[in-house]
């Protein structure tokens, strides 16, 4: 795990927000919004971000 609780809350909120916007609108950016939204929700659910790992960054207090 490399995500703190605050980071996870922000990611899940933003992820569900993007998925909701994707569902409610008829934008040409449907796939991008859905992919970014699902990415945010999945990284929040697992508490792990591969990009943080590649950069050597961690917000987890442990």
Mean pLDDT of the chain: 91
At 23 the pLDDT is 87
Instruction: Give the 3-state secondary structure of residue 4.
Output: coil
> 40: how many CB neighbours lie within 10 A of its CB?
22
**Every domain of the chain and the residues it spans:** 5-55
Low-confidence ranges of the chain (pLDDT < 50): none
**Burial of 48 by CB count in 10 Å (0-12 exposed, 13-18 middle, 19+ buried)?**
middle
Spatial separation of the C-alpha atoms in residues 50 and 57, rounded to whole Å: 10
At 46 the pLDDT is 95
At 55 the pLDDT is 94
Measured in degrees and rounded to the nearest 5, phi and psi for residue 59 equal -105, 0
At 56 the pLDDT is 92
């Amino acid at each position: 795990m490399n995500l703190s609780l605050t980071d996870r809350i922000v990611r899940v909120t933003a992820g569900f927000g993007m998925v909701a916007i994707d569902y409610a609108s008829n934008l040409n950016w449907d796939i991008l919004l859905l992919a970014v939204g699902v990415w945010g929700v999945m990284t929040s659910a697992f508490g792990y971000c591969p990009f943080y790992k590649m950069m050597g960054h961690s917000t987890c207090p442990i």
